Every structure is written in structure tokens, then in C-alpha cells.
Amino acid sequence: MRKFFSIIILIATWSAVNAQNVQLHYDLGSTLDDGLDGRPAVTTTIECFKPDRWGSTFFFTDLDYFHDGVAGAYWEVSREFNVTRDKHWAAHVEYDGGLTSSKYTDLSTRFQHAALIGPAWNYASKDFSKTLSLQAMYKYYFKGQNPWNRPFSSFQATAVWGLHTSNRMFTCSGFIDCWYDKSVSGNWIVITEPQFWFNLNALKGCQNINLSLGTEVEMSYNFVYDNKGRNDKFRAIPTLAAKWSF
């Protein structure tokens, strides 16, 4: 799940159709890797994308769960303002923030929240079966709760894509983020979360069943901490997922 993703995934960043969905993910990280023992196994994601005459608004919220309740939450909200008549270019403004807790203690940690601003280039095919958004943003981290969470400036590059095939029976969507973080080895974090969906409403007689079944694979470097407090390695963590669109 995204930065928590797991962003989010924006299926259509430049369309004239609203897109809202709720996702349920069963995370296989702790099952496949003993070093990730204590990682929440269940995540719900809520996504909303709403275009208007000025641009578009997008947000997603991830809620992670332990067996006894919510383990943490993460959300991103962004607004784009069109700057060209063809709607390809936009000004992008975003906020990221959240918190998490430990499975074994009653301690919780607030993430060092951030604001982002920069240009975005958006593309969609005529039938919106193919979409792409590219963003280059200045990122500012605000002061966090710990003495070492000092405010600092950063940079983030983002790509978001969506692809529908076989009369929209299958969907591939996802994002890739790369950003500077002075606290990690090498100072850069990379994460991508491709999603693959089988859409039941593409089947004959199931047009009103807006349920999709599939998977998400969180692939990252310098992002996921293991139970020894290390995050300096590449990880690929799949989920089993269901999504209801409305």
C-alpha cells in the first residue's frame, strides 16, 4: 500500500468521469518475510477523483489494521489547476500525512507531514482506456514530533498510469514515486505499487456488479522498515485485493 500509496491509485487523472472506490487488501508481507513480522495484514483504501472546469481534486486514505483495531492511517490530498486549454498541463498542490503504531507496544508515531507543489503533465486517450500523469514537485517536510524531525526541503518525481484492456475486463494501474529524504541511506526513496484487476462488470449479465478482484505489489527501496529498524533494501510485497467502484 502506498507510503503507507499503499497510493493510490488514480485510474483516470484527466477524465470527465468521477472515479470513487473502496479497496480491501490482505498484505502478504509478514507471511513471506519473517523480517516483517508485526506488519499489519489488512488495509482498506478509499479513493476519490473529481474533475471540474478548473482542474481536478484527488485524495486517498489508507487504514491499516491489527486484529484488535486500526494500526495507522495515511492520506494524500491533491488539487490540480489547468494552465493550458487542452488540459495537458496543470499546477499541482498536495498534502501528505499520517501516523502509525506498533503491534507490540502502545506507542504511536506521527509521520513527518509534507506539502508539495509543482507542474503536472496529463494525458488520456479518447476513450480514457489509457491515462498517464507526470509530476515534478518541490516537497517541504514540516517539523515532526521527534527532535531529529527537523523541517527540510526535498524534491519528488511521480508518474501515475492506468490501462484498461479486453473491453475493460482487465485494468492495470499504479504509480511510481521517487523523492529525496536525508534520513535514509543514499538519500533517495523509490516506491511503486502496480495494481492488476479483473473487473466483474465486464462479464455478460454482471454489468451492475462493480466489483474487481486482483492484486497490488508494493515494490520499494529505502522505504519499508523491518523488525530490526532497517529499511536499506529492496522489497516486493504482494497483496490479495478486492475493490468496489461507485
Per-residue tens of pLDDT for the chain, all 246 residues? 444 333 333 333 333 345 799 999 999 999 999 889 889 999 999 999 999 999 999 999 999 999 999 999 999 999 999 999 999 999 999 999 999 998 888 888 999 999 999 999 999 999 999 999 999 999 999 998 877 788 999 999 999 999 999 999 999 999 999 999 988 888 999 999 999 999 999 999 999 999 999 999 999 999 998 888 888 889 999 999 999 999
Is this structure's pTM higher than 0.85?
yes
Supply the range of the domain harboring residue 55. 19-245
The whole-number pLDDT of residue 230 equals 85
Give domain status of residue 7, yes or no.
no
Domain count for the chain, please give it.
1
The answer to whether residues 241 and 217 touch, using CB atoms and an 8 Å cutoff, is: no
Please answer whether residues 92 and 117 qualify as being in contact, where contact means their C-beta atoms are separated by less than 8 angstroms: yes
Assign residue 120 the CATH number of its domain: 2.40.160.40
Residue 6 belongs to some domain of the structure: no
Q: What is the 3-state secondary structure (H, E, C) of the chain?
A: CCCCCCCCCCCCCCCCCCEEEEEEEEECHHHHCHHHCCCCCEEEEEEEEEECCCEEEEEEEEEEEECCEEEEEEEEEEEEEECCCCCCEEEEEEEEEEEEECCCCCCEEECCCEEEEEEEEEEECCCCCEEEEEEEEEEEECCCCCCCCCCEEEEEEEEEEEEEECCCCEEEEEEEEEEECCCCHHHEEEEECCEEEEEHHHCCCCCCCCEEEEEEEEEEECCCCCCCCCCCCEEEEEEEEEEEEC
Does residue 5 sit within a domain? Answer: no
Q: Looking at the domain assignment, is residue 1 inside a domain? A: no
Q: Is 13 a member of any domain?
A: no
Q: Is residue 72 part of a domain?
A: yes
| pLDDT for residue 18 | 52
